[in-house]
A and B are shown apart, each in its own frame.
Chain A
Amino acid sequence: AQTVTQSQPEMSVQEAETVTLSCTYDTSESDYYLFWYKQPPSRQMILVIRQEAYKQQNATENRFSVNFQKAAKSFSLKISDSQLGDAAMYFCAYRSTGKLIFGQGTTLQVKP
């Protein structure tokens, strides 16, 4: 069965600094998608970035980028120039045949 693990329950970063959130996953599939979702206090789950497993190039979306290591089954999220609005819970997620499987989440605090 596929699993997603986020080993950092909480992280904090100073405003304008860079932070990296970790995620590992376990699967025997070769074709799948990986995602990072953000859930602010408003509860809305917002898609931050996605990565197709067949692509070697790491995905980037403005200040958000990933480090995708397929062999190591690692998918970390880097947030550059952190802003107060980045404070939220971040979930790593995996999808292959249809189900979206989430990690436990990492709460990110941004300090002014």
Chain B
Amino acid sequence: ETGVTQTPRHLVMGMTNKKSLKCEQHLGHNAMYWYKQSAKKPLELMFVYNFKEQTENNSVPSRFSPECPNSSHLFLHLHTLQPEDSALYLCASSHPFPDPSSYGYTFGSGTRLTVV
């Protein structure tokens, strides 16, 4: 357990469903991130939040909708997904750069999403 908790660990959803992924950290970090990890591809940064404000959206389709109600919680709301969205979704947190204690990111264990 690293201090970043993601739920659920596994999720199977149909293309017409709506579901949400949850990420929680109590490390005192003020930056949170969503990454997508597909087979045979590098990790893709999806969204960045600093102090609850979204600071980066890397051209992610609108069927992915992030929400950051406070610095400890991050959600990824999913709707009308496609089979190619099946992947491991990783959440991470960190101190905002250039904090001198910036030891990279702390990751959760991810949610394995399968879209059928």
Contact = CB atoms under 8 A, between A and B. Distances in A.
B64 interface: no
Given A98-B31, A99-B48, A104 B105 contact: no
A45 B103 contact: no
Interface in A83-99: 91, 93, 95-99
Interface residues of A, number: 25
A44 B110 CA distance: 7
A86 B36 CA distance: 24
Most chain B CB within a 10 A radius of its CB, from A33, A43, A96:
A43
Give the contact-size bracket for chain B: 20 to 34
Given A43-B109, A44-B2, A97-B97, A104 B42 contact: yes
A91 B43 contact: yes
Interface string A73-112: 0000000000000000001010111111111110000000
A46 B112 CA distance: 18
B80 to A, nearest CB: 26
Interface of B: 2, 31, 33, 41-43, 45, 48, 50, 55-56, 88, 90, 92, 94, 96-98, 102-110, 112
Q: Which 4 A-B pairs have the closest CB atoms?
A: A45-B107, A98-B97, A102-B43, A35-B104
Interface of A: 4, 31, 33, 35, 37, 42-47, 50, 91, 93, 95-105
